[in-house]
Amino acid sequence: MANSRAITEKVFALAGSNGADLVGFAPVERFAHCPQDTHPQFYMEKATGVISFGIKLLDGICDIWGEYDEPGKTISPYLFYGYGLVNLELSRVALALARMLEARGYRTLLFPPTWQISLYRKYEGVLEGRMDADFSHRHAAVAAGLGEFGLNGLCLVPGAGSRIRFNSVITDAPLEAGAPYDGPPLCLPERCDQKCIRICPAEAFSENKMVHCLIGEKEYRYAAFDCIRCLYALTAMVKGSGSRSDMTIPEGPGDIMHWLYNSEQADIVDRNLREAESAGIISGYFCGKCLHSCPAPFA
């Protein structure tokens, strides 16, 4: 027990000194109900759990997010400081934790934050309307007790709501787990009239269909989500996503082939930024309205 406490304190201190605002540990038992091929022990048989940590986004860059022709608004600070650079910083925290633990004889496994390479193993699923990553950092954050799911399917945390990004380290180190989040509700859709659903420029959220997710012994619910419709906003193809393009998405479920065939019809400025080698790393993806426009947590 003493050794577990000591190594846990080292992990938490190192994460904080490298820029993490929140850090927690989710024991492997809390992942019992997740898809088998995203379970920590699918990759590391003797994993004891997952270290989850997050970096909060600056309110200023979120507050001025807007269309390019909207007075006093711009998307560029969010693309870099709210997406690309934060993902790089999260990766640096993960590497520091992994190096420290492996130097002490423990095994670790890292997955990148939300970039295209995080979909590599399951890329064929995109053709069927799914965008499944190898490992879900937001589910790990909820499992570690850092927050709870909002209607937008993101992990909301006290003091920042969904204005935060996460990364994870799977490990076999004997760390001490914190309790699941048990504070005041962070998502109150009746207060904001389901703002995340209303403002989505791709109409990717369902008002009536919910996803039920069991983490440990606690059930969470969030709005079902059409990943392909969202892709039009992420890749700067529809008005309202912060882009210059104004493409029409066909009614009904997202069609990946329509997106592929029409992606070159986007505005040349949007295409140049989207297709740069740095997309998702330096420039980040567009939109993010359901993240930075969420009013949670409520006062």
* Residue pLDDT, tens place only, 73-122: 999 899 889 988 999 999 999 999 999 999 999 999 999 887 666 666 66
Predicted local distance difference test score (pLDDT) of residue 36? 86
DSSP for 135-203 reads S-HHHHHHHTTS-EE-TTSSEEBTTTBT-EEEEEEEE-S-PPPPPPP-SS-S--HHHHTSHHHHH-TT-
pLDDT of residue 265: 82
165 near 154, Cβ under 8 Å?
no
State yes or no: pLDDT of 281 exceeds 90.
Answer: no
CB 186, CB 158: distance < 8 Å: yes
Residue 35: pLDDT band with limits 50, 70, 90: confident
Mean per-residue pLDDT for 206-221? 93
Going by pLDDT thresholds of 50, 70 and 90, the confidence category of residue 180 is very high
Report whether pLDDT(34) > 50: yes
The predicted-structure confidence for 45-78, as pLDDT tens digits, reads as follows 999 999 999 999 999 999 999 998 999 999 989 9
Instruction: Provide the pLDDT for residue 7.
Output: 96
The pLDDT score that the predictor gives to residue 70 is 92
3 state DSSP class of 75: coil
Q: Tokens for 226, please give them.
A: 């059409």
Model confidence at 268, in pLDDT bands (50, 70, 90)? confident
C-alpha to C-alpha distance for 219 and 234, rounded to whole angstroms? 29
Looking at the predicted structure, is the pLDDT value of residue 267 above 50?
Answer: yes
Find, among 163, 142, 164, the residue nearest to 220 by Cα. 142
Q: pLDDT tens across 232-243, in order?
A: 998 889 999 998
pLDDT band (50, 70, 90) for residue 262: confident
- Closest by CA to 199, choosing from 239, 169, 235, is 239
Residues with Cβ within 8 Å of residue 132, at least 6 apart in sequence = 38, 119, 122, 125
Tokens representing 186 are: 């962070």
Q: Does pLDDT of 144 surpass 80? A: yes
SS3 state at 237: coil
Per the model's pLDDT, the better-predicted residue between 131 and 108 turns out to be 108
Residues in Cβ contact with 29 at an 8 Å cutoff, skipping those fewer than 6 apart? 216
- pLDDT for residue 286 is more than 70: yes
What per-residue confidence (pLDDT) applies to 27?
97
Question: Residues 6 or more apart from 157 whose CB is under 8 A from it?
Answer: 22, 54, 56, 141, 146, 147, 164, 186
Whether 253 has a pLDDT exceeding 70, the answer reads yes
Rounded Cα distance, 237 and 142, in Å? 31
Would the pLDDT of 291 be above 90?
Answer: yes
Percent residues over pLDDT 70 in the chain:
90
Task: Output phi, psi for 169, to 5 deg.
Answer: -130, 115
pLDDT at 240: 94
pLDDT band for position 170 (cuts 50, 70, 90): very high
170: β partners: 50, 109
Could you tell me which residue, 274 or 84, shows the higher pLDDT?
84
pLDDT at 277 over 50: no
